[in-house]
Structure 1
């Protein structure tokens, strides 16, 4: 066996500390809002790196472009208690004879890569001309990140927040069954396990309906993405109350039991996630399917905007920041927000898509930057499944895209619409204004010869990892 593989395949806590101290290890966390394409992103990122030595697809990833890369290998992951990200299964689905999009993951997963390179840093050139950077890629649901904001809210505040959100569409209609059931309950009555289980089940159904409708702000996150460790757990059998009672002393009341479980959820699920995982991340990328929000309307857009800004609050580390006040210490030093599926718009619309995402998070973006967290936005496609095309309409040449629609068996060419630089007014979100279709993955002849076709994934890699070489 290769001595290099033998030497570094065994991970110990001491080795981990040494590697992190010497800047030889980076934990890259990947999360995304609902249906943003996390699994496809990680699969493509791993594929690009594994084939980087001979790749012509990464011109803006300097370690490749400069000729300093000496190879990349998948390695045994350091955290044996975390499920592995099944890259082999995902790439087989993506690159088969009849390619399909990989099945999404439902909890936290991890994969480790070892990147071997010729060091460009003066000191390391003399000490060890060939160096190794270990990249641990951690995949976790965006809903879990949104839960961090619950740590700022007590049960009464959270309940009022959810009740206000259900006063307007689409949540007003989507929550009808749950609200009707809750209106029939007396918060001062004795808590009953069957009642609480039914209330939690109806609330979970409501959250799933929100997710299916394209909404992003889903709390608690473990209700829709529980992970294998919490499926069916009593810890998830609670929900908000629509009406908060005054002066209830009965500690066995429905109100008291709901409140106790909410606080237990924060302590044993949310804080546990931070302490075991989030606190160790070095770099973070957050994926968002902005185009889906365009298709589904103004409420979906505002919900995504609020969710992204809530995510940003988790990365504000100053004295007034959530993380500093609750846990202390600065860890994550780079965040990349990415608008995915950039191949679903025409090439000249890419700057608009990127600028639109940046405009959505301007205030939070500036706050995170002020606190020392370097933040960028980008429009990318982890796997490019359309081609640029042109058509003539009324004597004018029009830019289009061509691909195989997800619900079709023949390729089509279309102009999906302009991406606005700023958010349209509510009355301007009319049906049919945007036609950002979903497409099937492309059939690829030589997936083992070079990286998958993409848009700007090399720029993302350079921002997230470039300074480590």
Structure 2
């Protein structure tokens, strides 16, 4: 067994090396394509991230940390039709108009997978730069809901395993009170009847919606929240149940088990086979501040959810995933704590440290798989300005922006993040109900009204550094 594993590893390594040499030999003569996956849980800012990234690559005046832009080697950038004919196009123009209009507003969030291709004409650098002309690099951006990625964990779990975990997590949440009552009243060994199954599935779906609104992150099955054309289908009509002993063949338990397996087979697996397995680089957006504002339970739930999500970048743990990846892996993964503009820049290092600590389990898994990883705090679209005011005889750092809804200007201090992330993560892991030594607030800012100079994209915080890490090497 050890010899077989060693031989397999050497073979895979040799294959990757051979492919790498082949890619290097072909590089001066063929266009390069980088497939960038963008995901994150609800309200993390995926749509805004993609829109601002594309706008700032088309007009690069605010991208000094993207080396190819700073060196003037990007000669041109333009949008092209997406290469996958079966995928909807990311509606960049509509989203940009929403963010930069005279009355700017947040665009509609991600509800399905979509794609956009941005092509860059780049002057080469290095020893061969004088021997070849500009090269074209295609950046294919794939936008998909993070809730779908949570479903990866279902591929490793039987219906009994998932039911046990889902019911355990829901047991401590007040949002699950209604569905707990419905599930307690159900008899898993009774004959399956469609009206009862539909009622239980709808109760579970209602719980997931309420938990999402309350800021929880572990929400499976992910397609229950975004069913699309599959709404009402048997594959989306099941719920977790307490496991009985020897349930009969036509029982409620057996039918839900069959539908759960159909969900994994017909919904989860095709997404990973057709889309996820082809991603080269990945950014995972995380609303750290929103979780901190909601309290210790939300922070711990986010930690567990992100560990589940990043399991997707370890295909070796699942034989089926290993088969579809066939030696491929995501090369770079960025964990980005979003909405950094809701904090004064003096607190940004603490936000980054908190994100790194919260994601440590997940990040270590990705590092083990060989991917290069980084964490940073960003704001894809800056909505605030900073100021300092005197309060009770001492200076207080504030951010000021336009409030969503009323449109009036307001200054805001969200509280001081601790220098040691453990001061938040330890009570979260310990099951604390509230923060004992801090009060953290949140404000919902609307996009600021912008006046952009020629050649400038929308204002941001560290979006250029994020781009440099994700695909700067390809330019």
TM-score normalised by L of structure 1: 0.90
SS of the aligned residue for 2:334 comes to strand
1:148-187 alignment, distance < 5 Å: 148-168=152-172, 171=173, 173-187=174-188
Provide closer, same or farther for how the CA distance between residues 19 and 436 of structure 1 changes in structure 2, counting only shifts above 3 A: farther
The answer (yes or no) to whether the contact 1:382–1:457 under 8 Å persists in 2 is yes
Superposed CA offset, 1:234-289 (max 9, x none):
21011111x211112x3221111100010111111111100010011001101011
Residue 456 (str. 1) matches residue 443 (str. 2):
no
Provide closer, same or farther for how the CA distance between residues 427 and 21 of structure 1 changes in structure 2, counting only shifts above 3 A: farther
Q: Paired residue for 2:38?
A: 30
TM superposition shift of 1:176: 1.7
Q: Paired residue for 2:230?
A: 230
SS of the aligned residue for 2:229 comes to coil
Residue 444 (str. 1) matches residue 454 (str. 2):
no
Residue 337 (str. 1) matches residue 335 (str. 2):
yes
Q: Paired residue for 1:105?
A: 110
Residue 272 (str. 1) matches residue 277 (str. 2):
no
The answer (yes or no) to whether the contact 1:383–1:452 under 8 Å persists in 2 is yes
**C-alpha distance in 2 between matches for 1:446 and 1:34:** 29
TM superposition shift of 1:393: 2.2
TM superposition shift of 1:321: 9.0
SS of the aligned residue for 1:461 comes to helix
TM superposition shift of 1:430: 5.3
The answer (yes or no) to whether the contact 1:95–1:447 under 8 Å persists in 2 is no
Superposed CA offset, 1:154-182 (max 9, x none):
000110111111221xx2x2112212112
SS of the aligned residue for 1:123 comes to coil
Bigger shift: residues 404-413 or 101-110: 404-413
1:15-414 alignment, distance < 5 Å: 24-52=32-60, 55=61, 57-123=62-128, 125-126=130-131, 128-168=132-172, 171=173, 173-226=174-227, 228-241=228-241, 243-248=242-247, 250-318=248-316, 323-324=321-322, 328-414=326-412
Provide closer, same or farther for how the CA distance between residues 354 and 251 of structure 1 changes in structure 2, counting only shifts above 3 A: same
Bigger shift: residues 360-369 or 419-428: 419-428
**C-alpha distance in 2 between matches for 1:21 and 1:154:** 48
Superposed CA offset, 1:29-85 (max 9, x none):
000112101111111011001112xx1x11110010011110110001111111111
**C-alpha distance in 2 between matches for 1:81 and 1:34:** 24
**C-alpha distance in 2 between matches for 1:164 and 1:354:** 31
Superposed CA offset, 1:307-344 (max 9, x none):
11111222124568994388553321111010000000
The answer (yes or no) to whether the contact 1:317–1:330 under 8 Å persists in 2 is no
The answer (yes or no) to whether the contact 1:74–1:112 under 8 Å persists in 2 is yes
**C-alpha distance in 1 between matches for 2:287 and 2:400:** 20
Provide closer, same or farther for how the CA distance between residues 325 and 246 of structure 1 changes in structure 2, counting only shifts above 3 A: farther
**C-alpha distance in 1 between matches for 2:93 and 2:85:** 18
Bigger shift: residues 255-264 or 448-457: 448-457
**C-alpha distance in 2 between matches for 1:21 and 1:449:** 30
The answer (yes or no) to whether the contact 1:345–1:436 under 8 Å persists in 2 is no
The answer (yes or no) to whether the contact 1:43–1:87 under 8 Å persists in 2 is yes
**C-alpha distance in 2 between matches for 1:179 and 1:142:** 26
**C-alpha distance in 2 between matches for 1:161 and 1:199:** 17
SS of the aligned residue for 1:122 comes to coil
**C-alpha distance in 2 between matches for 1:233 and 1:207:** 18
**C-alpha distance in 1 between matches for 2:326 and 2:437:** 47
Q: Paired residue for 1:7?
A: none
Q: Paired residue for 1:9?
A: none
**Structure 2 unaligned spans of 5+:** 1-25
TM superposition shift of 1:431: 10
Provide closer, same or farther for how the CA distance between residues 447 and 80 of structure 1 changes in structure 2, counting only shifts above 3 A: farther
SS of the aligned residue for 2:443 comes to coil
Provide closer, same or farther for how the CA distance between residues 396 and 27 of structure 1 changes in structure 2, counting only shifts above 3 A: same
The answer (yes or no) to whether the contact 1:235–1:265 under 8 Å persists in 2 is yes
Aligned length: 442
SS of the aligned residue for 1:116 comes to strand
SS of the aligned residue for 1:34 comes to coil
